[in-house]
Structure 1
Amino acid sequence: MRKKILAVTAMAAVAVLGLSACSGTSEDATAEGDGQLQIDVPDIPMLEELGENEGEVNIIAWSGFVEPAWSDEFTKLTGCTVNRRVAGTSDEMVQLMRTGDYDLVSASGDASLRLIAGGDVQPLNLELIPNFGDDIVEGMKGQIYDTINGKSYGIPIGRGANILQYDSEVVTEEPTSWDIAWEADSPYAGKITAYDAPIYIADAAVYLMAHEPDLGITNPYALDEKQLDAAIDLLKQQNEIVSEYWSDPAAQITSFAGGTTVAGTSWEVLRKLTGDEKFKSVLPEEGSTGWSDAWMLAAEAKNPNCAYAWMDYASSPEVNGAIAMNFGMAPANAAFCDTSDEAKAHCEYYNATNEEYFKKVWFWTTPIEQCIDGRTDVTCTNFQQWTDAWLTVKG
């Protein structure tokens, strides 16, 4: 396993910039079935057919997504040399894509809409990517964070949920709700861990959706000002029982192992890395937030043919599965799960083909002024507003 701590740190990073007005107005935005979003975005043509490979492809990726063994094999197969740039945050990825020096990026949902609305990536011709077929799990197709106006801008790589981890020697009954991590009277007050980033506001919104339905929240990334205020109030309440906020996975693992923390937000890969069977996890009844990554192609990619070749190659069961195992997530290509006993065990651990599980997960999506829940009578808050609000939580 590669430097997983570094990679999951990269995975955790979120952006601090909101979308610009080129996304359209609130009257332009509607949410449709299957997670599709209808908003005004730059009209960038899709590649209609492939030509000769250019000889190289320049990729921005999270650590662990583009490894030498895969790159070397890809070069032998296609003649395309892979030039990799590892990025540490979604912000960095967006900024690098806007330089025009890169063809592909492994974007997370907190960056995808910015890249699409900014005209930085182009829609993808799925017919040119044979490995994007029936074996790609349905729950990663046509999602709101990378499918706009019926056009696909992302080729899925993998996904994961933000789960409730707990020390079963202290929390002796399996939790069914997030209430032990949110309510002021939690029996574990003072030993709760929480994620340290503005996107964590969505976790509060998920809890409010279940416990304060009168707020009318139907999507945790589509919050008007009143709903955002309610989420911030809940976060401030939680602040009173939090022992530690984490953004560095290594610190989170140490906190659990040392007993400073006994319950709170985590990832399945972190539970595994903690290395003790007493640490368990659950996806509570309210559901949770989560993350999903996808390959996205630069609007003016200099090497589009090699880029398409990479997206197809990296979507094969073997390579997509290797990325997922390297990173610690559910693969996008379900066929990987049948390639070996090790692959099967990995897929079972990360719920790779369990769509009922992931139906309860709200994947990170950049908040924008256009309400992605379909409302047109209000303006929703953007990520800059979330960032400003988050600063008030911890005092």
Structure 2
Amino acid sequence: MMNKKMLAVPLAMAAALGLALVGCSSSTGGDAGGSGELKIDVPDIAAVSEIGDFEKELNIVSWSGFVEPEWVKPFEEETGCKVNRKIAGTSDEMVQLMRTGNYDLVSASGDASLRLIVGGDVQPLNLDLIPNFGDDIVEGMQGQVYDTLNGKSYGVPIGRGANILQYNTDVVKEAPTSWDVAWESDSPYAGKIIGYDAPIYIADAAVYLMAHNPDLGITNPYALDETQLAAAVDLLKQQNEVIGEYWSDPTAQITSFNGGDVVVGTSWEVLKRLSENPKLEGVLPEEGSTGWSDAWMLAAESEHPNCAYEWMNVTSAPEVNGQIAMNFGMAPANAAFCELNDEARKHCEDFNATDEEYFSNVWFWTTPIEQCIDGRTDVTCTNFQQWTDAWMTVKG
């Protein structure tokens, strides 16, 4: 992820998931976010039953901006747990680092979570030992399909954000309400369109197809059978003909918009704000969008579980969770932060922190797996390796 000085994006450059899968249930109720429980075979790992003595050390893999001195130093002074941070630039790197056995915690995005859970790399959590997880954690970040399996929670929410449609009002005179200006071959902004450079961007095409080609039967952009994946790839190839550039580096994306090289395309709310460009506006289009949601996950064989649990508890408190959210530029998980002061209220308003209607139109990154997480059992869905291979054909 990123902070306001050093930006590093979680790219979904993942390996394939070889999963033994059994059935699926969901309580999505039509919400884009997809709360519910994914029923799959996972290693039988017991959750911690009680907190013991602190082990004096804690090793964390995180996105840039999530583990900073402002809250690390007080935590170390209070607990005696020395925090060692390793910054990762991609979800794939996080998975690899967690599999070394050298780290206790990871700030995983949804495009890594299922790999870690099914691979036996992280353990279920005893939420009773994390009292700050309580009722103030926003509803839309609890029990999500990407970190809750078989009735067990594997993640403590940190923050979330949507992938918005950003545009330059000097060129895009009429405020767009649809993604069509970025996807259709007759877009008046051909050559000035920007897209996200990662296989997970296939889900953005799927979201567009859900609205504009309902006969495909896509009901979850991360649950694509071979026919649906092929349709998404065709749309991406169509967009490739009119796209100006792809972005993975947020700094470069801001530069491209500010320099006029691109005028419309995928962005984050925080990038619009960091650009400090009054000509740039952003919208969550009528089709909805993809997004990201991050959570702390505990290594299955953590050597410092007591320090880790205390870290998850402390960083779930409204003050600290809010610091992380403001430092990165996202909606905090703990809604109580939004009532602390005027600055907090403004931040929460800017990032739609407690607006569940807004986030109900956001499909948070979820690793594609062979089991169809939309509930279908009569077909096999495509996994992330297939998405990665398909993405290579888009860019050529």
Residue 19 of structure 1 aligns with an amino acid whose one-letter code is L
Are the equivalent residues in 2 in contact too, given 1:135–1:334 (CA < 8 A)?
yes
Structure 1: gaps (5+ residues): none
- What is the CA distance between 1:5 and its match in structure 2? 5.4
Structure 2 residue aligned with 1:307: 308
Moved over 6 A (4+): none
Is the partner of 2:393 in helix, strand or coil? coil
> Whole-Å Cα distance in 1 between the matches of residues 346 and 173 of structure 2?
26
Please identify, of 340-349 and 198-207, the stretch whose mean Cα deviation from structure 2 is larger.
Answer: 340-349
> Whole-Å Cα distance in 2 between the matches of residues 31 and 186 of structure 1?
39
Residue 359 of structure 1 aligns with an amino acid whose one-letter code is S
Structure 2 residue aligned with 1:322: 323
> Whole-Å Cα distance in 1 between the matches of residues 171 and 46 of structure 2?
56
Are the equivalent residues in 2 in contact too, given 1:15–1:110 (CA < 8 A)?
no
> Whole-Å Cα distance in 1 between the matches of residues 149 and 16 of structure 2?
17
- What is the CA distance between 1:31 and its match in structure 2? 2.9
> Whole-Å Cα distance in 1 between the matches of residues 395 and 202 of structure 2?
13
Query: Structure 1 residue 217 and structure 2 residue 218: aligned?
Result: yes
Are the equivalent residues in 2 in contact too, given 1:20–1:117 (CA < 8 A)?
no
Residue 135 of structure 1 aligns with an amino acid whose one-letter code is D
- What is the CA distance between 1:240 and its match in structure 2? 1.1
Structure 2 residue aligned with 1:378: 379
- What is the CA distance between 1:48 and its match in structure 2? 1.2
Is the partner of 2:394 in helix, strand or coil? coil
Residue 285 of structure 1 aligns with an amino acid whose one-letter code is E
Are the equivalent residues in 2 in contact too, given 1:32–1:38 (CA < 8 A)?
no
The aligned runs of 1:9-28 (5 Å cut-off) are 9-10=8-9, 12-21=10-19, 24-25=20-21, 28=22
Aligned residues: 388
Structure 2 residue aligned with 1:4: 4
Residue 15 of structure 1 aligns with an amino acid whose one-letter code is M
Are the equivalent residues in 2 in contact too, given 1:221–1:367 (CA < 8 A)?
yes
TM, length-normalised to structure 1: 0.96
Is the partner of 1:376 in helix, strand or coil? coil
Structure 1 residue aligned with 2:44: 43
The aligned runs of 1:203-214 (5 Å cut-off) are 203-214=204-215
Residue 74 of structure 2 aligns with an amino acid whose one-letter code is E
- What is the CA distance between 1:80 and its match in structure 2? 1.3
Are the equivalent residues in 2 in contact too, given 1:317–1:335 (CA < 8 A)?
yes
Structure 2 residue aligned with 1:230: 231
Which of the residues 22, 29, 49 maps onto 2:23?
29
Are the equivalent residues in 2 in contact too, given 1:320–1:333 (CA < 8 A)?
yes
Is the partner of 2:12 in helix, strand or coil? coil
> Whole-Å Cα distance in 1 between the matches of residues 260 and 302 of structure 2?
49
Are the equivalent residues in 2 in contact too, given 1:166–1:264 (CA < 8 A)?
yes
> Whole-Å Cα distance in 1 between the matches of residues 3 and 329 of structure 2?
11
Are the equivalent residues in 2 in contact too, given 1:132–1:155 (CA < 8 A)?
yes
**1:129-178 Cα deviation digits (max 9, x unpaired):** 00001110000000011001111000000000000000111111111110
Residue 149 of structure 2 aligns with an amino acid whose one-letter code is I
Residue 6 of structure 1 aligns with an amino acid whose one-letter code is M
**1:308-345 Cα deviation digits (max 9, x unpaired):** 00000000111100000100100000111111111111
> Whole-Å Cα distance in 2 between the matches of residues 197 and 63 of structure 1?
19
Percent identical? 73
Structure 1 residue aligned with 2:117: 116
Is the partner of 2:6 in helix, strand or coil? helix
> Whole-Å Cα distance in 1 between the matches of residues 296 and 112 of structure 2?
12
> Whole-Å Cα distance in 2 between the matches of residues 4 and 20 of structure 1?
37
> Whole-Å Cα distance in 2 between the matches of residues 150 and 343 of structure 1?
33
> Whole-Å Cα distance in 2 between the matches of residues 384 and 13 of structure 1?
14
Structure 2 residue aligned with 1:156: 157
Structure 1 residue aligned with 2:391: 390
Is the partner of 1:369 in helix, strand or coil? coil
Structure 1 residue aligned with 2:180: 179
> Whole-Å Cα distance in 1 between the matches of residues 293 and 5 of structure 2?
18
**1:80-137 Cα deviation digits (max 9, x unpaired):** 1111111111111111111111110000111000000000000000110000011100
- What is the CA distance between 1:3 and its match in structure 2? 4.5
Residue 4 of structure 1 aligns with an amino acid whose one-letter code is K
Residue 20 of structure 1 aligns with an amino acid whose one-letter code is G
> Whole-Å Cα distance in 2 between the matches of residues 201 and 188 of structure 1?
21
Structure 2: gaps (5+ residues): 28-34
Residue 252 of structure 1 aligns with an amino acid whose one-letter code is Q
Structure 1 residue aligned with 2:30: none
Residue 309 of structure 1 aligns with an amino acid whose one-letter code is E
TM, length-normalised to structure 2: 0.96
